[in-house]
Structure 1
């Protein structure tokens, strides 16, 4: 059971696919062990941030922050990515020939197993102090590191970690491989690395050649693990970055020799010249199971005499989300986190214009460094006051422009700076948008212009109350384009969005305008006027959320309708899983795994004020769902309530006999800890409704719980309240803690696969138990991984708590017992 602890030195947790991981397992104190917590204590509690603690040997100072001599400098820093896994080695059983999946070696005992590896040409293969197999790649020498011929690939697999590839070192030819070999020389299946080309090749050779080989440009990140497996008449070549999630690279109909012969495994190398090097392999045959993925909080260096240790604590993705700042409105977040597949967007300027009353300027929050919008006076008179009523659903304010006339009053002007100007030149498309409200025609909303005035663009309102786009690319008179059919001087809030430079289009209130634009490309734009343009046409009314996005493509079809919906409805009515993915994106997480399908429509979550995780928790509670951080990736998992409906024996991850627990800590509980028999439930803008269980109240007394959730109808609120009372008016007898010494179990891999919402059964309980077998749902766990020990204590709930009625079903239609209606 080798532990596998890897650091992502210099990597960014939000870009896990770019992290090159470094194995530091040999530094781990496996006597004290690695402690990990995950999930929740019970199903009514929130899942907590996952944590890991471990002690690392710092004998050489490599893990001392700020030590310039460290091979990891300057990346020994707070919040460095870390991942922890268990690599389960196969056990040899039965008699030869053996399935190839039973071939295992972790190379951790300091000597080559000559019984397993019968050929070691010239002693080229040796085990390193880091616990890897190092095979020399010497000039003019072909080496072999070969197993006994006692294995079969049919229905099995060969797996290995490619820990280091050989350098070319001045040679014209240098290669190293992993082969499953036939009894016929030159006939073999496997992987070959060519140092001269940097190519990793999936091959099925005959006569030492394969004209149909699949070649990959080698990546130390993507190709850290290699596998060849055969199943159902097909051979598949796969690679992995972590040994757990695999990517298929090639498939081939199984050659006849694979199913008719016994095989050997060979790790040969060859080099024609240059200087010697090596290739390193590790964990042959390992089954990897991730246990933790997160960041190191700090690196506290401790000493005992001259011995130095580092006791690190780590936290998963919830740390980053939980400490993130409060979100702005959904409209603002949509502008700041535009997400259009395959398109590079840069929000080059964004002025929410939501400054407090009494402000004299408005700031850009895009982060690109644009200058602030300053009050500019024309003539004498007129007002421009911040802090007025803003766009619906945002909870944010907007400035009110009150000029004395079209040429007397105040407006806002800014020099957007060199970065914006550079973006204006570099990108093929610019999208300009804002919100406004007015009853006055013949005024300018905003305008952008180049310093020398050659390029200018103005969005204005004509005498008929219609929007216009006015442009020039020569410095001459502005050419006016009018959007007919929509009058915007009705005193209501409107949204306008316009693309410049690529398939020019115009959107009003989220819908495309029918008019054809004749707008030339706009480059060199740098100066912005809002609420007027260059000394005239002063706007009367409110303007808010002015943003300019530069892009590699035209994205208005995607963002204009979204921004209109965000500003007017806050995405009310979208399904809960879509809301979770949206909020995760606001929080900087683009990977959400959605489990299940029972998702209701979610109400708007109102204005700004809480961070992304808090808002996701609101959705989780509304849906009676489960939200948690993945343990194998920088991502979130969101489980709907139907994931837990009606567990069956086939859905159990494992079963365990009570005697195998070897503990006196198992306890069957029947108490009122979870009891709920009165629920007062409400939703934003809806009714407050009460659901009770009269029989429970009579028997046990009142056990109330308020429920404020984001449903879009009173009926949905009532369903949620009934669901809660039906499950907890009289909670069943349950086992809440199940401790297991997992390492000794034959079902070790299955136990490691158990995660939040997994099921397992404890069988053959003592005669005093309420039943001989009890099925439980995993809510979380704590574990301690040591040398030859892996103790996991599962926090569990009774699986039948989430069962629902199935008509005429022997188990799930028992009157008064399992006739709970689904929610």
Structure 2
């Protein structure tokens, strides 16, 4: 096993695809061990932010923040991305020929392993815990095995750590080859330092006319692999040694299956200046253990010896730092990156309304026409599911009163060389008034959205300063009924959506206006709005249309997306937090009620969904992402799908405990939902035996009373009489032959402990992983699994010998 610790100096943890990782493993003080925590203590607790702690050797000050002499300066700073993995190095067993998957070397002792590499040449060495091969003018160099390997059904993997430079040469290459018995017939990867390209090649006579070539990326091609399976050779690359991308495939050459092979890492250079290539972790199988950010870099001294003990937290640290969410309408608009966005939800004492689009646009100020009329912010209820107030415009007449306006400046004017898309909510009972409009400072260009005398929507415009052209919008003429309505007008497409429905797609309005003065609730002293306007936004669109997406904001304001499934809601909330995707596991997801109003953080909202679904939400351990598991992921675990099994005798037996207490017991529970009934479910037999155990009211975001009842029954049926269970299972994983299987265990995985002592209620106990604490040391990897019994998630299956046992496994699925 090799510990692999990498830091993304200067990178942003929220932009993982742009991070170039630097291996700092050699500076980790493994004697003081690396500790990682993940998941929850039990199935009834929330998963906690994952953490990692480790100590780094700081003898040369490289990990001292602000040290200009550090090779990482100025990026030794808080929140630096970090990832931790273990690389399992294979060993040879049996007799030759060996499968190439057994060729493994971590180069950690700075001595060439002569048994693996008996034919090194040209000054190739093991230096700095890496394979180092000189790239010297006129001299070939390389690491070379004996002819004792096979590729069929196997693989060769290596990490490319240090690239050679062009250095004035006409040719400079470094390669990883699997060699046949015929000189020049080989396959593998080849890096060309002159072109900066890497190629997947199958050569005959030292040439491949169909080689697949890429520009080398330290992000995407840090790891390289050749693999044979089922008659096909695969060339694959990876950024972390765990997730692989196929770059080329080829029908397996006949020599691959008929010959015993050698492996070679050669170099060659013509002219120029010498340097070297470095490879590492040949044959390693990587298992990620942590992905997150460094909280701080505290420097400690013991005499003149310096170290840095860092603690790290996964992405929940960033999510928990995010400000409280605004309403779903606001979050949807912000996610679409408007040029300007005025929610118009300021306090009633305010006299201006601010832009929160993030582009620094000025506030809208109150403009007055004539004498009289009022405009009071925060004086009416906004769209139903926003939980926000809206302004009330009360003019004396169409030309006497107040409206909002601002000169948005040259930055906005430059943006309007693109097409514009307008969005707003409004309510009124008055016809012939203006919702919003923009114009250039010389009034040559003007563009308005207004209500016609007949109560429908109309678009008004000019591009030459002439009187406004009015174009009626096909659609409802009942927009002055006092109800909230939503409008989106996409100039690029000539389309209008009203209340989420496309009502016109053939507007003949010129495009590409140069405008900068915005009016809301009136237009240049006339057509003053009577009623309310909210969430006014303007987008710039060019190659794609903004309208279809903006039109969905109607549902956000009217229903808060009530009724969408829980997995869709989680992905929506993740998008508000800047996460592009969530790994969804399982298929049982109920409709979720509205979470429209703002005020709570994104994690709190996700937890509401998680609790409603009896689901599991946690951070991934191999990348910057979330995982959301449906409750059905745990239904009726199949022994064939167990992550691993382990004999009780192989456990670190101190700390193994079979618990049988009332910690989880629930036999009476009240449950409710927003706008629904409060209902109660009990387990009379449990109450008779143990007394009442009531955890308090379960408030969940269901959309029907029946769903609430199902959720309450699910809780009581699982915990009315909890069975004895193992809650802590410590395993010294490093010493186990199924080490990789143990490392694959994650939240909701399950495994069996066999050969239980005679005092146990059964000879085998199956447990579900809720979380774990792992401690990685020199030739040691202790994992303390926090577990629950898998029986809690058994559900009834008709006529099944295991899952239809009366009063035992006849729990109805939820």
Q: TM-score w.r.t. structure 1 length?
A: 0.98
Aligned to 2:298: 300
Secondary structure of 1:37's counterpart equals strand
Q: Which range is displaced more, 521-530 or 618-627?
A: 521-530
Partners of 1:537 and 1:639 in 2: how far apart? 54
Partners of 2:210 and 2:283 in 1: how far apart? 27
Aligned to 1:365: 356
Partners of 1:820 and 1:419 in 2: how far apart? 63
Aligned to 1:112: 112
Aligned to 1:802: 793
Partners of 2:671 and 2:441 in 1: how far apart? 59
User: CA contact under 8 A between 1:430 and 1:550: conserved in structure 2?
Assistant: yes
Secondary structure of 2:141's counterpart equals coil
Aligned to 1:791: 782
- Aligned counterpart for 1:550 among listed residues 540, 546, 550: 540
* Superposed displacement of residue 144, structure 1: 2.8
* Superposed displacement of residue 515, structure 1: 5.9
- Aligned counterpart for 2:757 among listed residues 750, 753, 766: 766
Deviations 1:708-741 (A, max 9, x none): 1000011111111111110000001100000011
Q: Which stretches in structure 1 are left out of the alignment for 5+ residues? A: 339-345
Q: Summarize the alignment of residues 623-642 of structure 1 with structure 2, pairs less than 5 Å apart.
A: 623-642=613-632
User: CA contact under 8 A between 1:805 and 1:822: conserved in structure 2?
Assistant: yes
- Aligned counterpart for 1:186 among listed residues 176, 184, 188: 184
User: CA contact under 8 A between 1:293 and 1:631: conserved in structure 2?
Assistant: yes
Aligned to 1:336: 334
* Superposed displacement of residue 68, structure 1: 1.4
Secondary structure of 2:318's counterpart equals helix
Partners of 1:515 and 1:128 in 2: how far apart? 68
Corresponding position: 1:751 with 2:749: no
Corresponding position: 1:674 with 2:698: no
Partners of 1:799 and 1:376 in 2: how far apart? 67
Corresponding position: 1:660 with 2:650: yes
User: CA contact under 8 A between 2:110 and 2:130: conserved in structure 1?
Assistant: no
- Aligned counterpart for 1:176 among listed residues 167, 174, 177: 174
Q: Which range is displaced more, 546-555 or 90-99?
A: 546-555
Partners of 2:538 and 2:558 in 1: how far apart? 20
* Superposed displacement of residue 664, structure 1: 2.6
Partners of 2:776 and 2:136 in 1: how far apart? 39
> Cα distance 1:606–1:499, how it changes in 2: closer, same or farther (>3 A)?
closer
Aligned to 1:70: 70
Deviations 1:270-315 (A, max 9, x none): 1111101111100000000000000000111111111111111100
* Superposed displacement of residue 522, structure 1: 2.9
Partners of 1:618 and 1:450 in 2: how far apart? 47
Partners of 1:419 and 1:663 in 2: how far apart? 68
Secondary structure of 2:710's counterpart equals helix
Corresponding position: 1:644 with 2:634: yes
Secondary structure of 1:650's counterpart equals helix
Partners of 1:791 and 1:713 in 2: how far apart? 46
Partners of 1:22 and 1:475 in 2: how far apart? 60
Partners of 1:60 and 1:558 in 2: how far apart? 57
Cα RMSD (Å) of the superposition? 1.0
* Superposed displacement of residue 78, structure 1: 0.5
Secondary structure of 2:516's counterpart equals strand
Corresponding position: 1:738 with 2:729: yes
User: CA contact under 8 A between 2:556 and 2:596: conserved in structure 1?
Assistant: no
Aligned to 2:482: 491
Aligned to 2:33: 33
* Superposed displacement of residue 591, structure 1: 2.5
Partners of 2:34 and 2:539 in 1: how far apart? 47
User: CA contact under 8 A between 1:482 and 1:515: conserved in structure 2?
Assistant: no
Aligned to 1:343: none
Aligned to 2:509: 519
Partners of 1:526 and 1:66 in 2: how far apart? 44
Partners of 1:422 and 1:553 in 2: how far apart? 17
Q: Summarize the alignment of residues 452-601 of structure 1 with structure 2, pairs less than 5 Å apart.
A: 452-487=442-477, 488-500=479-491, 502-514=492-504, 516-601=506-591
Aligned to 1:135: 133
Q: Which range is displaced more, 617-626 or 409-418?
A: 409-418
Partners of 1:280 and 1:506 in 2: how far apart? 60
Partners of 1:671 and 1:486 in 2: how far apart? 64
User: CA contact under 8 A between 2:333 and 2:550: conserved in structure 1?
Assistant: no
User: CA contact under 8 A between 2:13 and 2:81: conserved in structure 1?
Assistant: yes
Partners of 1:696 and 1:417 in 2: how far apart? 70
* Superposed displacement of residue 793, structure 1: 0.1
* Superposed displacement of residue 663, structure 1: 1.9
Corresponding position: 1:717 with 2:708: yes
Aligned to 1:414: 406
Deviations 1:430-467 (A, max 9, x none): 21100000000111111111122222101111111111
Structure 1 runs (4+) deviating above 6 angstroms are none
Aligned to 1:614: 604
Aligned to 2:47: 47
Secondary structure of 1:177's counterpart equals strand
Aligned to 2:216: 218
Secondary structure of 1:484's counterpart equals coil
* Superposed displacement of residue 217, structure 1: 1.1
* Superposed displacement of residue 555, structure 1: 2.8
User: CA contact under 8 A between 2:493 and 2:545: conserved in structure 1?
Assistant: no
Aligned to 1:435: 425
Corresponding position: 1:208 with 2:206: yes
* Superposed displacement of residue 322, structure 1: 1.4
Partners of 1:166 and 1:43 in 2: how far apart? 51
Q: Which stretches in structure 2 are left out of the alignment for 5+ residues? A: none
Secondary structure of 2:333's counterpart equals helix
User: CA contact under 8 A between 1:433 and 1:547: conserved in structure 2?
Assistant: yes
User: CA contact under 8 A between 2:614 and 2:630: conserved in structure 1?
Assistant: yes
Partners of 1:485 and 1:609 in 2: how far apart? 35
> Cα distance 1:101–1:545, how it changes in 2: closer, same or farther (>3 A)?
same
Secondary structure of 2:813's counterpart equals coil
Aligned to 1:82: 82
Deviations 1:108-144 (A, max 9, x none): 1011112211222222x11222x11111101112223
Secondary structure of 1:790's counterpart equals strand
User: CA contact under 8 A between 1:149 and 1:264: conserved in structure 2?
Assistant: yes
Q: Summarize the alignment of residues 369-408 of structure 1 with structure 2, pairs less than 5 Å apart.
A: 369-388=360-379, 389-408=381-400
Q: Which range is displaced more, 279-288 or 195-204?
A: 195-204
Partners of 2:540 and 2:365 in 1: how far apart? 23
Corresponding position: 1:356 with 2:347: yes
Q: Which range is displaced more, 614-623 or 704-713?
A: 704-713
Aligned to 1:163: 161
* Superposed displacement of residue 661, structure 1: 0.8
User: CA contact under 8 A between 2:122 and 2:140: conserved in structure 1?
Assistant: no
Partners of 1:379 and 1:558 in 2: how far apart? 39
* Superposed displacement of residue 557, structure 1: 4.8
Partners of 2:374 and 2:614 in 1: how far apart? 51
Deviations 1:660-696 (A, max 9, x none): 1142321111111000000100000011110000000
User: CA contact under 8 A between 1:368 and 1:420: conserved in structure 2?
Assistant: no
Partners of 1:280 and 1:454 in 2: how far apart? 65
Secondary structure of 1:736's counterpart equals strand
Aligned to 1:728: 719
